[in-house]
Amino acid sequence: MKRFDFRDEIHRLDAEADCVRIMQILQSHEFPWDMGRALGIALYRTYAVPSIGALLGRTDEFTGSTQKRYDDTALILGNMVQHGFEPGPGRDALRRMNQMHRSYDISNDDYRYVLSTFVVMPVRWLNDHGYGWRRLSEHEIAAITHYYRRLGRYMGIRDVPETYAGFRDLMDGYEREHFAYTEGGRRVSDSTLDLMVSFYPPRLAGAARKFSMAILDDSLIEAFRYEPPSRAWRRAADLALRLRARVVRRMKPREEPLWAENNPNIRSYPDGYDVNRIGTFPAGCPVAHDVDPVGNEELDRPATAREGADAHE
């Protein structure tokens, strides 16, 4: 297999109709490590929005059970990419995610913002920062956008942007308006950084923490009231990631897919897991939620009917 065979396969596919398959290739073959880092930073950014950070801090799930929440999030999102949204593990993961979200009073604006981070941060990481072994093409960016637009519909999110530029402007504007310090957000951030450091040998803990801080942009450092990383650490982290990209470019393509469940940093389920039983099971939410997005006509219609409707969006 040649280095750019997967890229060529992607460009033979339709960016909208085949967005799930394109996401599978990008996430499990072309950029498994990079997509993991980018999506991790995407979720981390949301802690700096007071309504999100404070909520997560109150639940204590991301501070008292950080490893399990990390694992559950990765497995739920990973199953949707790996299996798609049709009946099976992917649909089960989507249902599980919607069940958890409906236990809390989360605004549509916050949902839209979180969705935008999933679209934008992989492009920022791979293209804007130059950390990918190759750049994403406009075709691939369009496929990522279509995938998360579809996910947004299945989550019942209203007013989802139609283009990558729309998602980018939404994310940047929301962060400018809302990023601010909260004690809950800071606790969740601290716990997340502690978990990231735990993935490295103890003797590297200090360097791992400084490296993790060095790849956070200034808006996050300010929102969480961290001491800014030194310019030397900023340069070192940037150089290390760019050098890694050059090395990966010269490697053979990954022919066997690497899915979230194969990630050695996921440590909560050594004997396997049932996607229907992972995540949180809160007692209930006082806010009425009338629609089950998984049970709506979008998911119940045959695939051909859905694709026809999608084409007329």
Ranges of H-type helices in 155-230: 164-178, 183-198, 205-214, 218-224
Whether residue 192 is contained in a domain is answered as yes
Q: Give me the residue label for tokens 């007013």.
A: 159
Whether residue 269 is contained in a domain is answered as no
- pTM to 2 decimal places: 0.90
Whether residue 42 is contained in a domain is answered as yes
Length of the chain: 313
Whether residue 301 is contained in a domain is answered as no
> Would you state the torsion angle of the CA atoms of residues 210, 70, 34, 98, taken in this order, to the nearest 10 degrees?
-140
Domain count for the chain, please give it. 1
Whether residue 227 is contained in a domain is answered as yes
Whether residue 284 is contained in a domain is answered as no
pLDDT per residue as tens, the chain (313 positions)? 999 999 999 999 999 999 999 999 999 999 999 999 999 999 999 999 999 998 888 877 667 789 999 999 999 999 999 999 999 999 999 999 999 998 888 999 999 999 999 999 999 999 999 999 999 999 999 999 999 999 999 999 999 999 999 999 999 999 999 999 999 999 999 999 999 999 999 999 999 999 999 999 999 999 999 999 999 999 999 999 999 999 999 999 999 999 999 999 999 999 999 999 998 887 654 343 444 455 444 554 444 444 444 444 4
The residue segments making up the domain with residue 196 are: 5-252
Cα distance between residue 238 and residue 212, in whole Å: 11
Whether residue 179 is contained in a domain is answered as yes
DSSP calls for 70-136 = HHHHHHHHHHHHHH-SSTTHHHHHHHHHHHHHTTS---HHHHHHHHHHHHHHHHIIIIIS--SSSPP
Phi-psi category of residue 284: left, alpha or beta, with phi > 0 → left and psi -120 to 50 → alpha: left
Whether residue 283 is contained in a domain is answered as no
